Amino acid sequence: MLVHICCSVDSHFFLQQLRKDYPDEQIVGFFYDPNIHPYSEYILRLEDVKYSCEKLGIILYEGQYDIENWLQKVKGFEDQPEKAHRCTICFDRRLDISAKKTIELGFDKFTTTLLMSPLKSQEKLKIIGDNLAQKYDIRFIFKDYRAGQGSHLQALEVKQNNIYRQNYCGCMFALNQQREYQQKLCDELISPINQQILPESIEERLKLYRQRTKLENQNQNYKIIKERFLNYRLLQAYVKHNKQTIPSYFLFYSTLQKKQTKGKVEFIQNNIGYFNKNEVKIISLQYLNQLLKTNYKNIYQLIYLPPNIEQEIQLRDTILSNPYDLCTIIVLETITQDKLEIYCDSKIYEDVKERII
């Protein structure tokens, strides 16, 4: 039997129940989910499914990440809510490819872990599965493992096995709508040009769950805990001198009231330039190199090969004796006392992240 797998949260318990109901069947997993965006989230979910399947002794196949084809299929339905026709198109595509994979592997049955998700219509999935079964002359296995204590037992399995619990279905359109409804920044779709790993980003989660897998393989004792913290995203920022943009670097937690200001450095002390407006501070690249013991030759090197976030927060603490001071700190090649125009559009918000102890 081939089992289309959407994520390990829905598959781990589902696969165990299938084994109990079909003890004589060879069960294999098939991860085909081109709806997942961005690609880093796809990799995170794939690696987590591999982790789950290895624990359960399930062979796993990976389908093609053909997101361009998927986007063409759902074109015109981007603004529809979750569970509407866009989801039906998505299910059609993923289950059709799964049915074809079933035949390719020489199996005569297939099913999907989407049946386990409380946000998916089991009735709709059954209709699609039965139609494909008739089309390809195979069987679609419908199982409602959510019923009774199923969802509760599923949650226990997820917690006990430290499985990655994603907070959106995977589709970028549903994600945008979900974040708008929650009045939250859609930071899953924000990636810095410098490849810096941001707090509670998908890249940070990927790093954490790879560490989990490593610890599991080494049989080490650990626990994943959650903690509340102040998160930050810099959306756009620049400094202009004589109406020309000059190279600049804005440190983590830099915020600016009304996003922009004009003025100049009116006082310099201990290598820090104090702007005459909006609590802005300016330091030179040379001073940053001195504090971090780095050797950046110019601001462009700093932009594309930045220190990590922890180093930036520590740098802010060194400069201001407060790591969570929210004033704008800018790194320039040299501190100038000429008139400057500064723009900083950033977001500060409460968030929750996971950490391994």
Q: Mean per-residue pLDDT for 47-57?
A: 97
Kindly provide the residue ranges of all beta strands, DSSP E only, lying in the chain, ordered along the sequence: 2-5, 28-31, 59-62, 109-112, 139-140, 224-241, 244-246, 249-250, 260-263, 265-269, 272-275, 281-284, 329-332, 340-356
Q: In what order do the strands lie in the sheet with 224-241?
A: 244-246, 224-241, 340-356, 260-263
Angle at alpha carbon of residue 247, lines to 242 and 253, rounded to 5°: 110
**pTM, to two decimals:** 0.92
Looking at residue 192, its pLDDT comes to 85
Cα distance between residue 282 and residue 266, in whole Å: 11
User: In order of start, what are the domains of the chain with their CATH numbers?
Assistant: 2-163 (3.40.50.620), 232-348 (no CATH)
pLDDT tens string 277-286: 999 999 999 9
Which residues fall within 8 angstroms of residue 158, CB to CB, at 6 or more apart?
Answer: 8, 9, 12, 13, 165
Quick: pLDDT tens for 152-179: 999 999 999 999 999 899 999 999 999 9
Burial class (CB in 10 A: 0-12, 13-18, 19+), 33: buried
User: What would the pLDDT profile of 114-131 be if each residue is shown by its tens digit?
Assistant: 999 988 899 999 999 999
